[in-house]
Amino acid sequence: MNKTFGFLIGSFCVALLAAEKSRGNACSSAGNSLVSRPNVVLIMCDDMGFSDLGCYGSEIETPNIDALANEGIRFSNFKNAGRCCPSRASLLTGRYQHSVGMGWMTVVDEHRPGYRGQITGEVPTIAEVFKANGYSTYMSGKWHVTVDGSWRPEEDAAPNGSWPTQRGFDEFYGSLSGGGNYYKVKGLKRNTTAITDFPKGYYYTHAITKHAVEFIEHHNTEKPMFMYLAHYAPHVPLQAPAERVEKCKARYAVGYDVLRQQRFQRLEKLGLIPSGKKLPANNGEFDEAVRVDWSDLSEEKKEVWVEEMATYAAMIEVVDDGIGEVVNTLKKKGMYENTYFLFLSDNGGSARQSKLARLRADLTNTPYRLYKCFTYSGGISSPLIIKAPESILFEGSLRHDLAHITDVFPTCLDLAGVEYPETFHGEPISGPDGISLLPALRGDSLPERDLFFEHQTSCAVISGDYKLVRVDSRTPWELIDLKADPFETTDLSSRYPEKAIELEKKWTAWATRNHVFPLEEREWKERVIYYKEKYPDQRGDR
């Protein structure tokens, strides 16, 4: 072990153990336990790719997020559930999405256990557990885990038991919807009151930050705080203030090929990907016409791509500004020194919208294959940053352990010294599917385990060095040796058929336990129409 690295890990372990001992003593002291517990700020971006932060190799300027990373820990092998709703369900419950009713999207309640269009009320959310343990709980931003029929005005919208303030949050500002215009937001609520008036100059990312700051300013520091800051950005439509877009344009004129190679080199230099590997070609998986060099594009298409990518970058930079405001407010309030920060994205960059969107996603997901909605690494890989209170310095360390979005819930509880309940609403419940990442923060290895994925019949299992994955139920499985082939370029299923069969059996057993079957192969519109006609009640499982 490098002596400097060993010293840092040793120093960190001593500090963390001291902090845990102090926290444990505080929790057992009458009258002072709540004040001594740490605050937790959980931040999520929407559709942001693996390499879209400065501290993950990007040309996008994210100094505030980078500062958290430089004082914290970055994970290089963190996996999500591949799309907005499923990832949010897993984040909020610590469980695989199908097991809590959120196997697909909120657009329809299919009245099947794994596909109710919202998270079940049978297990607690992270906010409910923190609130039960004396925390003030705040949320600002995108919810997207309640069935759409509970908030759309044309469907007699009213709280159905699955809105944020009904699932543990004391205060909420944000959208119940999954996406839309940043200047006129669908399904926007202040607690349970609809907001339909958008003043001149309104921009959703600014408003999310504004309300998060106000929650902190009004917070009673006699209690600890849990805040969930769930940004819309950079989910399409790509919209940002014109002056911010203009600021970003020049850096994208060189084109995606050059930028993608530069990101790859920086990722390698930062130690976030293995060294000595070759960057795969741009992804032409669905359309060979997509696999083109920058020089082959017309000037008109180049201008469109630069405009789109500059807007995308500006959206992330505005998010970063807001995180800086939250940090500064916590410092002014005297809360920063006792606050944990966790930052992640819900899935990889999205290729939906146009062929140029695929080229944008190839850059944002560098160096990984495919995009949001797929269970290849481009869809399920995102940054994870954990920054501890100032008394515990991580010194910008990296962790290469395999981690999963279900781990965020138990990790937050572990950091705060909060126990997961044995019962909920008087009924016994099992613990989360995820595990605490605290051992990895200490520098210890996490236990080996298998991870499973499914979205719109795109399926995968990661087991040791191997991954079994397929685009959808109509295509064959591919067997990948992740150690030799981390960018998923070579299918080994014909060479090692026994291994492929072994992993498929594991995936099938998991899918059976977690209400994944039967897989639904209908396309989006047909699927929605079918289940709405079959089940007119679209208010969710109450």
Encode pLDDT of 317-338 as tens digits: 999 999 999 999 999 999 999 9
Domains and CATH numbers, the chain: 37-534 (3.40.720.10)
Whether the predicted pLDDT of 98 surpasses 80:
yes
Percent pLDDT > 70 in the chain is: 90
Q: Which residue is it, tokens 């996008």?
A: 60
How high is the mean pLDDT of the chain?
Answer: 91
Tell me the mean pLDDT in the region 232-244: 97
DSSP 424: E
Report the b/e string of 127-150 with b at 16+ CB within 10 A: bbbbbebebbbbbbbbbbbbbbbb
Q: Which of 16, 59, 64, 14 is nearest to 43 (CA)?
A: 64
3-state SS track over 160-206: CCCCHHHCCCCEEEEECCCCCCCCCCCCEEECCEECCCCCCCCCHHH
pLDDT of residue 476: 97
Residue 484: partners with Cβ closer than 8 Å, 6 or more residues away = 465
Degrees, nearest 5: CA angle 325-326-329 = 85
Which structure tokens are listed for 320?
């970063």
Q: Are 160 and 143 in contact (CB under 8 A)?
A: no
Tokens of 493: 């299923």
DSSP H stretches of helix in 202-291: 204-217, 242-249, 256-270
Predicted local distance difference test score (pLDDT) of residue 8 = 39
Q: Which of 83-92, 216-225, 395-404 bottoms out in mean pLDDT, i.e. has the lowest?
A: 395-404
Per-residue pLDDT tens for 422-433? 999 999 999 999
List the structure tokens of 441. 């923060």
The predicted pLDDT at position 390 comes to 74
- What's the rounded Cα separation, in Å, for the pair 167 and 89? 12
pLDDT in tens, 152-175: 876 667 899 999 999 999 999 999
| Residue 181, pLDDT score | 97
Residues in Cβ contact with 128 at an 8 Å cutoff, skipping those fewer than 6 apart: 167, 168
How open is the CA angle 383-386-391, to the nearest 5 degrees?
160
Give the pLDDT band (50/70/90) at residue 293.
Answer: confident
Which has the closest alpha carbon to 355: 280, 282, 261, 257? 282
Tokens of 195: 């907001």
Residues present in the chain in total: 542
Average pLDDT over residues 514-530: 97
Element holding 19 (H helix, E strand): helix 3-27
Instruction: Give the whole-angstrom CA distance, residue 102 versus residue 337.
Output: 36
387-420 pLDDT, tens digit each:
998 767 677 799 999 999 999 999 999 999 999 9
* Residue 392, pLDDT score: 72
Residue 15 has pLDDT above 90, yes or no: no
What per-residue confidence (pLDDT) applies to 352?
83
Q: Give the DSSP per-residue string, 486-527.
A: TT-----TTT-HHHHHHHHHHHHHHHHHTT-PSPP-S-HHHH
What's at 497, amino acid-wise? P
For residues 408 and 75, the answer to whether their CB atoms sit within 8 Å is no
192-227 burial string, b = 16+ CB within 10 Å, else e? eeeeeebeeeebbbbbbbebbbebbeebeeeebbbb
State the average pLDDT over residues 242-260: 97
Quick one: pLDDT band at residue 5, thresholds 50, 70, 90? very low
Alpha carbons 492 and 502: distance in angstroms, whole number: 14
Contacts of residue 148, defined as CB under 8 A and 6 or more positions apart, other chains included, come to: 106, 107, 108, 117, 155, 176, 177, 538
Q: For 258, how many CA atoms within 13 A lie in the half-sphere containing its CB?
A: 8
Helix (H, G, I), strand (E, B) or coil at 293: coil
pLDDT in tens, 270-283: 999 999 999 998 76
When pLDDT is averaged across residues 467-483 and rounded to a whole number, the result is 97
Q: 408-447 burial string, b = 16+ CB within 10 Å, else e?
A: bbbbbbbbbbbebeeebeeeeeeebbbbbbbebbebeebe
For 145, the enclosing helix (H) or strand (E) is none
> CA 340 to CA 338: how far, in whole Å?
7
**Which residue in 298, 223, 247 sits closest to 37, CA to CA?**
223
Q: Read off the pLDDT of each residue in 128-141 and give the average, rounded to a whole number.
A: 98
Task: State the Cα–Cα distance between residues 127 and 138, nearest whole angstrom.
Answer: 8
d(Cα 72, Cα 413) in Å, to the nearest integer? 18
pTM given for the model: 0.94
**pLDDT for position 152:** 84
**Tens digits of per-residue pLDDT, 352-391?**
876 699 999 999 999 999 999 999 999 999 999 999 987 6
Rounded percentage of the chain residues whose pLDDT exceeds 90: 84
pLDDT of residue 12 exceeding 60: no
Higher-pLDDT residue of 260, 10: 260
Tell me how crowded residue 253 is: count the other CB atoms within 10 A of its CB: 11
Taking the C-alpha atoms of residue 167 and residue 122, their distance in angstroms, rounded to an integer, is 11
Instruction: Please give the structure tokens belonging to residue 243.
Output: 């002056």
